[in-house]
Amino acid sequence: MTRAIATQWRNLAFSGLILHEILDHPQEDETPQARLKQVGMMTVLYSMNQAHQKLTLSTIMEITALTRSGVKETVDLLVRRGMLTETIVKNSMGRGTARQFEISEALLEKLSSFGNE
């Protein structure tokens, strides 16, 4: 299979996986709107990850044009779900700290079970 087709299959598998994980497993006190935001955010974060961009609040804000609190709200829900892992790193100026995120290994393992590695 060509690399382009394999990449498309992997992207489709990821979309299906996040739809299943988020929509079929609602968290307590979570609205349908919050779940849809999470699906959209995971799609953006996966695209950023594939482009080797750092997943920080600032870079996510640049891509989505959302406010810091808008990004934080949705990303925090994804961390709580275990779909993202969070680490504290030095910010781009090296003086303060920033929250950096990665797609969780558990989610990537589920994705690899689709046979698209």
What pLDDT digit, counting tens, does each position of 11-32 carry? Answer: 899 999 999 999 999 999 999 9
* Strand ranges for the chain from DSSP E: 55-56, 84-90, 97-103
Rg over alpha carbons for the chain, rounded to the nearest Å, is 15
The domain in which residue 15 lies consists of: 3-112
Determine the straight-line distance between the first and last CA of the chain, rounded to whole angstroms. Answer: 12
- Number of folded domains that form the chain: 1
Instruction: Tell me if 14 sits within 8 A of 64, measured CB to CB.
Output: no
pLDDT for the residue 116: 45
The closest alpha carbon to 64, from 85, 83, 23, 72, belongs to 72
DSSP reduced 3-state for 103: strand
pTM of this prediction exceeds 0.85: yes
Q: Is residue 53 part of a domain?
A: yes
- Look at residue 115 and tell me whether its pLDDT is greater than 70: no
Domain with residue 73: its CATH number is 1.10.10.10
pLDDT for the residue 80: 96
Q: Is residue 117 part of a domain?
A: no
Q: Dump pLDDT digits (tens) for 37-92.
A: 999 999 999 999 999 999 999 999 999 999 999 999 999 999 999 999 999 988 77
Q: Is residue 91 part of a domain?
A: yes
Give the model's confidence band at 1: pLDDT under 50 very low, under 70 low, under 90 confident, else very high. Answer: low
Residue 29: left (phi > 0), alpha (psi -120 to 50), or beta? left
